[in-house]
Amino acid sequence: MLGRLNHVAIAVPDLNAAINRYEKVLGAKVSAPQHLPEHGVTVVFVEVENTKTELLFPLGDNSPIGAFLEKNPSGGMHHMCYEVDDILAARDKLIEDGVRVLGDGNPKIGAHGKPVLFLHPKDFDGTLIELEQV
């Protein structure tokens, strides 16, 4: 079912400072900020040869990243994103196996313009999993 690791997402309390660290200190290429109001986040991608790191910052008062940062004021790993060929088939199989899909169970369009779903962290050893259709 799972394809390659697409990205690891890190919630950050100061997006500009995080961008500066990745660009200036680590010498990485960082994308322009992208606002995703339907997900309540602003994101940038740190691009490296074999994957990406997504930096997440709250957008709006009801952002899930705002709630995450209240519990983790220094920031931290938020989720891991894996690619799947068919997100609906993956969802149906996971639900059949007892995995909880967050939200209403229907994919939303993610930062890469592709359908995504999130799986409950309690079903994956405390790690929030994002699936992205490729």
Rounded Cα gap, residues 112 and 121, in angstroms: 22
- Give me the pLDDT at residue 134, please: 95
DSSP 3-state of 113: coil
- Give me the pLDDT at residue 30, please: 98
- Give me the pLDDT at residue 127, please: 97
- Give me the pLDDT at residue 31, please: 97
Give the CATH number of the domain where residue 96 resides: 3.10.180.10
The token duo for 68 is 């995450």
- What total number of domains does the chain contain? 1
Q: List average pLDDT for each run of 10 residues in the chain, which is 134 residues long.
A: 96 98 97 95 95 96 94 97 98 98 96 96 97 97
pTM of the model: 0.94
Helix or strand (DSSP H, E) at 64: helix 64-71
Catalytic residue among 38, 47, 96, 130: 130
- Give me the pLDDT at residue 18, please: 98
Q: The domain containing residue 100 runs over which residues?
A: 5-133
Assess whether 130 carries a catalytic annotation: yes
Give the residue among 73, 23, 78 at the shortest CA–CA distance from 46: 23
